[in-house]
Every structure is written in structure tokens, then in C-alpha cells.
């Protein structure tokens, strides 16, 4: 059984260089976009609507201490449900396999009304 154990934190603002030792979820759209931009991933996270999906993700494994999952949601009738989110998992507490299973659950949980069964792909990103 996999549980979502991430606290939702909006204060203080986190950047890739000041993550705490524990897991973090950045749910504020603006803060999540800034975080994703700081990683250089914003242009690598395609619009879900361009792929006929309701959500896309990219898992960044180039951070020294955390697996970072960047999420982008579109296609919801409620505009507040669309946007960006970031989940950060300490590498010393979570395996990449566990993170990917949690990601699949997250994407399934937040499936769009127009795409309730998926499909979902992690577009991934590995730094050069």
C-alpha cells in the first residue's frame, strides 16, 4: 500500500537549493512554476492538451538529495484544478520505484473528467 505522505507547504518558498530533509509538495501554481523554471524543466514539460492527456509529469533525477516530480494539469472544468505542482522525495527515504508508483496514484487520483482512465506517461528528464 502506498500512502501520500507529502505535506503541502507554501511557506517558506522552496527552491531546488533549499529543500528540507523531508518530503515536500509545492501546490501553489506560481511557486511550482518558479521551481520548475529554476530546474530548467518548464519547456520540457509539454502541455497535456497537446498530448490528449489531462496530466503530464517529468521526474528529475539530477538533484543531489531529492527525486523531483514536476506535474502539469489541464482539461479540468474548474480552472483552479489546472496548473503546476511539484513533489520532492528525499533519495535516502524513497526509491525511484516507490516515487514512480506514488506518481501513478497521484495522476490516477487527479484524472480529468474528460480522461478518467488515463493514459499517463512520465516524460522524464535527465540532465546532460
Which pLDDT does position 10 carry in this prediction? 42
Q: Mean pLDDT, to the nearest integer, of 46-72?
A: 81
* Cβ count within 10 A of residue 6: 18
Q: How far is CA 73 from CA 23, 45, 109, in A?
A: 21, 11, 12
Which residue, chain included where needed, has cell 528540507? 20
Which pLDDT does position 16 carry in this prediction? 80
Q: What is the pLDDT of residues 67-111, one digit of tens each?
A: 999 988 887 777 887 889 999 999 999 999 999 888 877 776 665
Q: Mean pLDDT, to the nearest integer, of 16-23?
A: 87
Which pLDDT does position 12 carry in this prediction? 53
pTM for this prediction: 0.74
Q: Which of 101, 29, 99 lies closest to 68 in space, CA to CA? A: 99
Which pLDDT does position 105 carry in this prediction? 75
Would the pLDDT of 30 be above 60? yes
Break the chain into its structural domains and give their ranges: 24-109
Which pLDDT does position 123 carry in this prediction? 54
Amino acid at each position: 500500500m502506498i500512502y501520500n505522505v507529502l505535506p503541502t507547504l507554501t511557506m517558506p518558498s522552496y527552491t531546488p537549493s533549499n529543500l528540507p530533509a523531508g518530503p515536500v509538495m509545492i501546490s501553489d501554481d506560481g511557486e511550482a512554476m518558479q521551481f520548475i523554471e529554476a530546474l530548467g524543466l518548464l519547456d520540457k514539460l509539454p502541455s497535456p492538451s497537446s498530448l490528449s492527456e489531462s496530466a503530464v509529469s517529468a521526474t528529475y533525477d539530477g538533484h543531489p538529495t531529492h527525486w523531483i516530480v514536476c506535474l502539469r494539469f489541464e482539461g479540468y472544468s474548474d480552472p483552479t484544478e489546472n496548473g503546476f505542482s511539484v513533489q520532492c522525495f528525499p533519495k535516502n527515504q524513497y526509491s525511484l520505484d516507490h516515487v514512480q508508483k506514488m506518481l501513478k496514484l497521484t495522476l490516477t487520483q487527479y484524472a480529468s473528467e474528460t480522461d478518467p482512465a488515463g493514459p499517463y506517461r512520465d516524460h522524464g528528464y535527465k540532465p546532460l
